Structure 1
Amino acid sequence: MKSKLIMSGLAALGVMAGTSGAYAQDAARDAIAERLAPVGQLCLQGQDCGTAAAPAAASSGGGDEVDGEGIYNNVCMACHETGAAGAPIRGDEAAWAERTEQGFATLLEHSINGIGAMPARGGNPNLSDEEMEAATAYMVEPVMDVPELGGGDEEAAAEATEESASDDMAAAEETSADEGTADAAASEEEASSGGSGLDGEALYASAGCVACHAAGVAGAPLIGDADAWAPRLEQGVDALYESVFNGKGVMPPRGGSSASDEEIMAVVDYMVSEVQ
């Protein structure tokens, strides 16, 4: 009788130990996944950047102050800590020098409306002007004197608006000049798009591929680097299409864009044409 009780007790302990071990393994896997989770997402102008909720607006002090650091860490740091797509790195005085000369109001206007590869509001349309102001202030604080937030400096805002209008006019003139030479470049564009008629070079920029393939981010082969592309070209262009469609390594499916199959193929054809 005693031996049966002892055996039953040992069996129960064994089950408990096995269950505890399984829980421990699950907890360890969860902890690893949390540590490996990305700190942010790269989102470029022209992409569907989603509508993720903005981080908590209140500061740790419990007042009406907006948590600019928290917003920066959730939305801005993916580019401004790595320099992706040419974004100036926070704290790099040389990279910010020409920008800070424009004044804080202009920098804020760029943050709100977007500039270059950076989309409006860093790709998060849920962020208010006040939150963008706080995040921008935190980002440039190491390299310039930031004015008092929420001061309503109408004169500075007017100057920023005027400069923005001037930039828009210059961009329109540049676009007009580009259109004037479109016919001469038609045959070249057709070659870079694999005969599809799509502008592979333009799609390469608008779909966000330039962010990684122009800088070698996360091991992406640089555009025009024949040595880096050689082993990939050996697989054949169809294999390259599939790699982009389905994602490969750290590259998400379709490079994280909403481009169609034909547009993806045109982009791949363009990148391949740069090394052939």
Structure 2
Amino acid sequence: MKAMNSFFVKSVLGTISMLFALSISAASVQDDMSREAIAERIKPLGKHYVAGESSAAEESSGPRSGQQVYDKYCTACHTSGVMGAPKRNNAADWQPRLDQGMETVLKHAVEGFNAMPPKGTCSDCSEEEIQAAINYMTEEI
């Protein structure tokens, strides 16, 4: 009987200590259930952008400069002259185009012409940004 009582006491004490530990654990979990704590735990680790969409930073900062557009979208073709693209600040390449008038140059850049697709590779560029890129590519001519 004494052994049975000892077992019973140990079982009851073990159960009480386990419940006590769970209540402490539950309290700490409850502390972490605030809206701020949850928001912190589930916040995104990074951001992604889909091709053709501009980032919020680009949208909020206003129009991109000619150099920004050129560096990001135009440089691949207009640095080396791929498929007849006029190279930046190369008067021999640009003069025949500029002789047609800036309106025509802009129209060709926006609508596409020969191997150049509409707006080059910058589908989200405004006409003003395309014009700025043209100005950047021809500024020293």
For normalisation by structure 1, the TM-score amounts to 0.30
For 2:13, the equivalent position in structure 1 comes to: none
The one-letter code sitting in structure 1 at the alignment partner of 2:118 is A
Residue number in structure 2 paired with 1:131? 129
Q: Is the 8 A contact 1:72 1:135 kept in 2?
A: yes
Q: How much identity, in percent, do the aligned residues show?
A: 36
Contact kept, 8 Å, 1:51 with 1:126, in 2: the verdict is no
1:91 counterpart = 2:92? no
Structure 1 residue 66 displacement after superposition: 3.6
**Equivalent residue of 1:120, what SS?**
coil
Q: Which has the higher contact order (CA 8 A, sep 6+)?
A: 2
- 1:45-103 deviation digits (Å, cap 9, x = unpaired): xxxxx943458368xxx7x6641101110000100001111111111111112111111
1:85 & 1:57 partners in 2: Cα distance?
32
RMSD (Å), alpha carbons: 2.4
Give the residue type in structure 2 aligned to 1:67: S
- Could you list the structure 1 runs, at least 4 aligned residues long, displaced by more than 6 angstroms after superposition: none
* 1:230-264 CA distance string (max 9 Å, x none): xxxxxxxxxxxxxxxxxxxxxxxxxxxxxxxxxxx
What letter corresponds to residue 100 of structure 2 in structure 1? Answer: Q
Gaps (5+ residues) in structure 1? 1-49, 144-276
DSSP 3-state at the match of 2:119: helix
Distance 2:59 2:92 in 1: 31
Asked if 2 retains the 8 angstrom alpha-carbon contact of 1:111 and 1:120, the reply is yes
State the Cα deviation string for residues 99-151 of structure 1 (Å, max 9, x = none): 111111111111100100000011222111221121122112222xxxxxxxx
- Tell me the matched-pair count: 90
Q: Residue 67 of structure 1 aligns with which residue?
A: 65
Spell out the pairing of 1:56-205 with structure 2 (5 A cutoff): 56=58, 66-143=64-141
Question: What TM-score comes out, normalization by structure 2 length?
Answer: 0.56
8 Å contact kept, 2:74–2:121: no
* Counterpart residue type for residue 70 of structure 1: Q
